Structure 1
Amino acid sequence: MKLKERRFPYPVLSMATSDYPLGNFTYDVEVVDDSYLHIVCNLQEKIIEKYINRGDFMYVVGIESVQTKSRQLYKQSTPEFKIELDADQLGPKLHLNVLILANRDVTNYPTNQLNSVYHGRKVSFKKGYYIAKCPTQTIEFEFENEVRKSGIIVKENPNVDSFTVDVDQEVISISLNSENYEGYKKYRKTKRSEILNSIFYTAVMAAITQIVMSDKDYSEAEDGWIPLVTKNMDKLGYTLEDLKEDASLIVNVVNAILKNPLNQLFDTFNENEE
């Protein structure tokens, strides 16, 4: 979620406040191979640093998927984070929040380094209070596969028998049981053609069928997977009414979106025989 810039009833080191006149808190972030985030926090405030070293404060990174709303939180006492990301679960866009939070209740906090309005006052923090915060940043992944960029996510759900597909206007969500999810993670790169023909083909087919059966007007949709469908329908010269009158045309749209996955599968078989 995007954290709003606001004032707090206690001192916070941030760009929106002047509570620490000489302090500064920023970070550098790099997305490495679309597989993990490398984050380095840059803190210039000796008292806060002292309290981090004592375990009173902690560096915190919060990650939330814009599409799925799933959240992950990481806490540690050192300023460098290497966070592995599964883009299948997160989708192509996430919100990143980098903070310093109170790890426990703190009383009698020094005030000499603070704005003069705090001098002579008793300053304390409860566990979970903000100590320092940076503005929320939006991170976008770049997928080679256009359909993945447009919003298909794969996640684990131990409560399904094999796999299920849930569709909304932004995300096609594939839920695999635990055994299948482990297999997916193991083979998603080496057995890509097989996975396209089994899991993704079914998911995209379900999504397009939902559009065809719906009474909603999706022509103005700009985000998520729907623009990818309408673009490929246009390339094929199809209208939504064409698909409603002849459902077999949906197969052609799926093939166009996934770039003829059956051809890719048999090409793989032929390469293996050679």
Structure 2
Amino acid sequence: MDIKYRLYPYPVLASFNDDYNSSKFHVNAECVLDGFDICINYSVELENDQIRELIAKGKACIVFHLESARTGYREARETDKLNGKIVIKDSVLNGDLSFCPFIIAKENIPGYFNNDFNEDYTEPFNFEKGYLIAIGNQMVWPITKNNIDLLNSSSPFKIGLNPDETISNMVVDFESQPKIRILLSAKDLSCYINMKNTPELKSILNSAVVVPALMYVLSELKQCEDMETAFGSLSWYLSIKESYLKNFKKDITVDLANENVFELAQKMLKTPINDAFEDLTTLGGHGDDEEDDDNEI
């Protein structure tokens, strides 16, 4: 969607007209890659007390229209916050991402008059629900995806049988190993093999097996004083290091200390837990109409 410089039958706050005398609606935004997510960090400059009051009372809202023409992605995000973040899965984007900010009426606003109207406007207006109150500055960002998927054919993980039959729990072995070895009991491995080629179960299996394994490895790396010396020659470490650099624009030897490994492991594996819940719903899960007050299990 492109913002059109057009005339409206009522006053609209915009940079391309003079319907308001000294008011301002401008959005500062940056588009950054965060793993397999595209994040838009925004800050709204809104210089008009009466419009700000409409938003505060829920009569109006800020809307960000997002569109990627090449993929057919189109979405409107509504907020009453002047500062925030919008997160979009990179899988729905390709080519340019268009970002258009607006302020719209959420309900009918009869007899609206703004003290900063141009002197040509002397009478109040009846704003209907959906009317544009303000139009901001459009931005377009090229989306270039060169992510490294740790779950692809060159994955640093290898799932196999634990030779110790006395151990029933999952074991993660990575020290001095070319790949992160996830060892399962014979029973668990048999179940995994039977299910791994079922598309609807892939994200569920990754959430149950690979995510905790990566969390454990990241936790160990985080505590390591010199991870380059300890693991620099191992292929699994090089894969994780490269993924961290390309997907997050960060150096694992410097920045890992400040990361939440629970969140990071999910992001590095394309957030399979979110997909797992969707797949479980498809496979037969359902939500109760009545929820527990504390949402306890």
Q: CA deviation at 1:31?
A: 1.7
Counterpart-to-counterpart distance in 2, 1:106 and 1:61: 21
Counterpart-to-counterpart distance in 2, 1:133 and 1:111: 16
Change in 2 beyond 3 A, CA 1:23/1:129:
same
Q: CA deviation at 1:184?
A: 8.6
Q: Choose the corresponding residue for 2:100, options 74, 97, 106.
A: 97
Q: Which of the two has higher C-alpha Rg? A: 2
Question: Superposed, which structure 2 residues align to 1:231-270 within 5 Å?
Answer: none
| TM-score, scaled relative to structure 2 | 0.49
Where structure 1 has 5 or more consecutive residues not aligned to the other structure, the ranges are: 147-175, 190-266
Q: Does 1:81 align with 2:79?
A: no
1:41 equivalent in structure 2: 44
Change in 2 beyond 3 A, CA 1:103/1:66:
same
CA contact (8 A) 1:7 1:16 kept: no
Q: CA deviation at 1:7?
A: 1.2
Q: Choose the corresponding residue for 1:67, options 66, 70, 73.
A: 70
Counterpart-to-counterpart distance in 2, 1:73 and 1:100: 12
1:122 equivalent in structure 2: 124
2:13 equivalent in structure 1: 13
Deviations 1:22-45 (A, max 9, x none): 101101111233531111111011
Q: CA deviation at 1:141?
A: 2.4
Where structure 2 has 5 or more consecutive residues not aligned to the other structure, the ranges are: 149-197, 212-234, 240-297
Change in 2 beyond 3 A, CA 1:177/1:133:
farther
Aligned length: 168
Secondary structure, counterpart of 2:55 in structure 1: helix
Identity %: 25
Partner amino acid, structure 2, of 1:18:
D
Counterpart-to-counterpart distance in 2, 1:55 and 1:22: 24
Partner amino acid, structure 2, of 1:99:
F
Counterpart-to-counterpart distance in 2, 1:5 and 1:108: 26
Deviations 1:230-256 (A, max 9, x none): xxxxxxxxxxxxxxxxxxxxxxxxxxx
CA contact (8 A) 1:59 1:75 kept: yes
Secondary structure, counterpart of 2:64 in structure 1: strand
2:137 equivalent in structure 1: 135
Q: CA deviation at 1:12?
A: 0.5
Counterpart-to-counterpart distance in 2, 1:55 and 1:109: 15
Change in 2 beyond 3 A, CA 1:186/1:84:
farther
Change in 2 beyond 3 A, CA 1:123/1:140:
same
CA contact (8 A) 1:111 1:123 kept: no
Counterpart-to-counterpart distance in 1, 2:108 and 2:125: 11
| TM-score, scaled relative to structure 1 | 0.53
Q: Does 1:32 align with 2:24?
A: no
Deviations 1:145-170 (A, max 9, x none): 59xxxxxxxxxxxxxxxxxxxxxxxx
CA contact (8 A) 2:107 2:130 kept: yes
* Displaced runs of 4 or more, over 6 A: 181-189
Change in 2 beyond 3 A, CA 1:30/1:19:
same
Change in 2 beyond 3 A, CA 1:6/1:140:
same
CA contact (8 A) 2:50 2:114 kept: no
Q: CA deviation at 1:4?
A: 1.1
